[in-house]
Amino acid sequence: MELLRDPDADLVQACKHPEADGFEAAFAALYQKYRDRVYSIAYRITGSSMDAMDVVQESFGLLFRKLDTFRGGSLFSTWLFRLVVNCSIDMRRRERSRRGPKVDVEDSEDLAVDPGDGPETSAAVHELGSQVQEAIQKLSPKLRVILALRYLEDMSYDELAATLSLSLGTVKSRLARAHIALEKVVREEYPHLQEQERAPGSGAKEAR
**Tens digit of pLDDT for each residue in 83-105?**
999 999 999 888 777 765 454 55
* Angle of CA points 112, 113, 114, to nearest 5°: 145
* pTM, entire model: 0.75
Each residue's pLDDT tens digit in the chain (208 positions)? 445 689 999 999 999 999 999 999 999 999 999 999 999 999 989 888 999 999 999 999 999 999 999 988 889 999 999 999 999 999 988 877 776 545 455 444 433 334 444 545 555 555 455 677 788 888 888 899 999 899 888 899 999 999 999 999 999 999 999 999 988 888 887 776 655 555 444 444 343 3
Distances (CA, A) of 187 to 62, 102, 141, 183, 204: 39, 20, 20, 6, 19
* Angle of CA points 61, 64, 69, to nearest 5°: 125
Distance CA 163, CA 89 (A): 14
Distances (CA, A) of 32 to 39, 74, 144, 158: 12, 21, 27, 25
Count of all residues that appear for the chain in the document: 208
- Per residue in 158-183, pLDDT tens? 999 999 999 999 999 999 999 999 88
Distance CA 174, CA 141 (A): 12
